């Protein structure tokens, strides 16, 4: 089986062109391929397949082999993958779990149009929201020295979130610039970046500060993102996640 390795700001994925593959992928195979010591190594695994009326369909699995909710960096990487395969040119529309997503490409930079966010739960300055995947966002000073793993695992495995949740810690730099770190469920570790987490952090920062800014820069361990959005009261729409997506290598499993 031929596979391809891509990353978006250090958030890395194994991709497979599913158009000509008949056999299914079981959880143990995906987990084995994603293992960083005994496999290829990746935060997630994606299959691209064709679907009527759209450019392609995206199927996504975490590195534990389990199907997961939407992945923003994965979405940008699979769009770049589709371009490299010659399926699309400079724009794409694709399905994930029966939801429509669209993207535009400019070189290595991919702008992904995210789904609307209609509500954000504010619990004493800690925010919970769903940007395609569920996220917990806390604002903390000196995030570089903070024990993210210990903090995040207490929340991710708490009774409050029976299905688990991604955990983000965020620090303000300027009125429209933040830096952040993310612990991802399914990976069960800190990742170099998380696309849906970046969007969640920006929307939480906008809500927390009541900022009038609608464009933010976000610094993650793996690189920088730009996020744009429109806001009406507590509802966010026209959300765009922009950042790089690059092919690393390809091989045969």
Q: Which amino acids are annotated catalytic?
A: 71, 194
Asked if residue 141 lies in contact with residue 171, where contact means CB atoms within 8 angstroms, the answer is yes
Strands (E), 64-204: 91-96, 99-106, 109-113, 121-123, 126-130, 134-139, 166-174, 177-184, 189-191
**In the numeric block, which tokens belong to residue 96?**
């994930």
d(CA 27, CA 67): 8
For residues 166-197, one letter each, b for 16 or more C-beta atoms within 10 angstroms of the residue's C-beta and e for the rest, the string is: bbbbbbeeeebebbbbbbbbbbbebbbbbbbb
Rg for the chain, CA atoms, rounded? 17
CB atoms within 10 A of CB 29: 16
CB atoms within 10 A of CB 70: 20
Backbone angles phi, psi at 225, to 5 degrees: -120, 160
Q: What is the DSSP string of 172-201?
A: EEETTEEEEEEEETTTTEEES--HHHHHHH
CB atoms within 10 A of CB 30: 25
**In the numeric block, which tokens belong to residue 239?**
């959300």
């Amino acid at each position: 089986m031929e596979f391809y390795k891509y990353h978006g700001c250090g958030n890395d994925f194994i991709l497979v062109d599913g158009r000509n593959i008949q056999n299914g992928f079981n959880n143990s195979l995906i987990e084995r391929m994603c293992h960083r010591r005994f496999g290829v190594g990746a935060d997630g695994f994606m299959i691209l397949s064709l679907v009527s009326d759209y450019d392609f369909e995206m199927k996504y699995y975490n590195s534990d082999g389990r199907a997961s909710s939407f992945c923003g960096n994965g979405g940008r990487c699979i769009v770049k993958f589709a371009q490299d395969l010659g399926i699309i040119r400079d724009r794409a529309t694709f399905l994930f779990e029966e939801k429509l997503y669209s993207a535009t490409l400019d070189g290595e930079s991919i702008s992904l149009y995210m789904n609307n966010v209609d509500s954000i739960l504010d619990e004493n300055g800690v925010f919970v929201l769903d940007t395609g995947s569920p996220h917990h966002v806390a604002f903390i000073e000196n995030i570089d020295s903070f024990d993210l793993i210990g903090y995040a695992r207490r929340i991710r495995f708490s009774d409050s979130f029976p299905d688990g949740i991604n955990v983000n810690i965020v620090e303000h730099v300027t009125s429209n610039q933040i830096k952040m770190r993310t612990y991802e469920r399914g990976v069960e570790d800190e990742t170099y970046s998380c696309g849906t987490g970046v969007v969640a952090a920006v929307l939480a920062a906008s809500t927390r500060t009541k900022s009038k800014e609608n464009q933010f820069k976000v610094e993650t361990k793996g690189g920088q993102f730009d996020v744009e959005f429109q806001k009406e009261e507590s509802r966010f729409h026209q959300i765009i996640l922009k950042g790089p997506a690059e092919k690393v290598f390809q091989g045969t499993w």
